[in-house]
């Protein structure tokens, strides 16, 4: 007998362990290209529309998988066409998807994205089924977390679920990475569960209470967030690079100069590539550089997951 989708249990425990488990969101992205971002109350005529797979959690999982990391996803989709398409797409990438639950009570999450001719974007997310991901879902994938080296979370799913995932990861001795997006304030006891905090300017400002617009301000925010309990903090500044504390010293890593086309998944690509490098034992600085190289490629392409590069695009084959 098959249970209704909203109560369908996770599949049996995985037979192949994952190096990295991503607990997070899956969205279908509805992307409109516009000459510029509209003002409130203004109607513009766009010049392009696409429907592409997205969601911060799923984007990061795809980046990991394309960069050669054994990856599993824990999330929740609706029992609808978008949900089936998103899970099928992740499976084609080689991502372990037994931790993705179907929810019959909410539709799959959707993001409406406007991208202007200067490659700036504005995004409105309707969480849908992402809001139904519960601590019980994490418990159902506990064996999966126990097999991992690193567990990654974002903030597009309920905070109680994020906390539980970080707690279970710590219980199993896994490293934890929190991409604290979208921007919001977080309690110190949750930040204390984070080994790697990765945030952009607005997210760093929301967490630290400080203005973050350039590397010097980012450096002060890094110090503030480490005092709040995070072990390591990386602040991504787009074209201004990355500011991070490495070996208790602050460093600024300049960005690669590129002509950007679409920055939609740049941050997720950085997170996935950074985590992929860490999971295979590379040092912090090498992992940051690898993340920057991957993101630099992603911004030159349109779409979220469609823009994410593969490892051989970042580093040439060994025999070449």
Neighbours of 98 (CB within 10 A): 17
Q: Return d(Cα 192, Cα 183) in angstroms, integer.
A: 18
Residue 29 CB partners (closer than 8 Å, separation 6+): 51, 52, 53, 54, 55, 110, 111, 113, 264, 303, 304
Q: Return d(Cα 55, Cα 81) in angstroms, integer.
A: 16
At 30, list the tokens. 């509805």
Phi, psi of 221 (to 5 degrees): -65, -35
User: Where do we find the tokens 């929810």?
Assistant: 103
What's the DSSP call for residue 128? G
**247 belongs to the catalytic site:** no
Helix (H, G, I), strand (E, B) or coil at 114: strand
Q: Are strands 249-253 and 242-246 parallel, antiparallel or unpaired?
A: antiparallel
Q: What is the dihedral of CA 309, 258, 302, 34, to 10 degrees?
A: 160
Asked whether 28 and 111 are in contact (CB, 8 A), the reply is: yes
Q: Return d(Cα 226, Cα 143) in angstroms, integer.
A: 30
Active-site residue, from 142, 248, 268, 312? 268
List residues with catalytic annotation: 268
């Amino acid at each position: 007998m098959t249970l209704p989708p909203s109560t369908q249990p996770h599949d049996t425990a995985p037979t192949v362990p994952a190096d990295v488990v991503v607990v997070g969101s899956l969205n279908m992205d509805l992307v409109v290209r516009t000459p510029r971002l509209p003002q409130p109350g203004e109607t513009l005529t766009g010049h392009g529309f696409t429907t592409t797979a997205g969601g911060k959690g799923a984007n990061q999982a795809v980046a990991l998988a394309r960069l050669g990391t054994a990856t599993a996803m824990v999330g929740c989709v609706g029992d609808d066409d978008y949900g089936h398409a998103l899970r099928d797409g992740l499976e084609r990438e080689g991502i372990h998807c037994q931790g993705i639950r179907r929810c019959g009570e909410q539709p799959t999450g959707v993001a409406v994205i406007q991208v202007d001719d200067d490659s700036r974007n504005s995004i409105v997310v309707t969480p849908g089924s992402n809001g139904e991901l519960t601590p019980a879902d994490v418990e159902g994938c506990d064996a999966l977390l126990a097999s991992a080296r690193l567990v990654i979370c974002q903030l597009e799913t309920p905070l109680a679920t994020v906390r539980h995932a970080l707690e279970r990861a710590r219980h199993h001795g896994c490293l934890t990475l929190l991409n604290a997006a979208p921007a919001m304030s977080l309690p110190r006891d949750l930040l204390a569960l984070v080994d790697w905090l990765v945030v952009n300017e607005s997210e760093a400002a929301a967490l630290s209470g400080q203005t973050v617009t350039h590397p010097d301000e980012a450096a002060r925010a890094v110090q503030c967030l480490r005092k709040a309990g995070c072990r390591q903090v990386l602040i991504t500044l787009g074209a201004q690079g990355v500011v991070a504390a490495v070996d208790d010293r602050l460093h600024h890593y300049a960005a690669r100069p590129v002509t950007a086309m679409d920055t939609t998944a740049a941050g997720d690509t950085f997170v996935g590539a950074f985590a992929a490098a860490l999971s295979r034992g590379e040092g912090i600085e090498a992992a940051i550089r690898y993340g920057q190289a991957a993101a630099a490629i992603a911004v030159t392409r349109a779409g979220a997951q469609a823009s994410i590069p593969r490892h051989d695009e970042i580093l040439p084959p060994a025999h070449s």
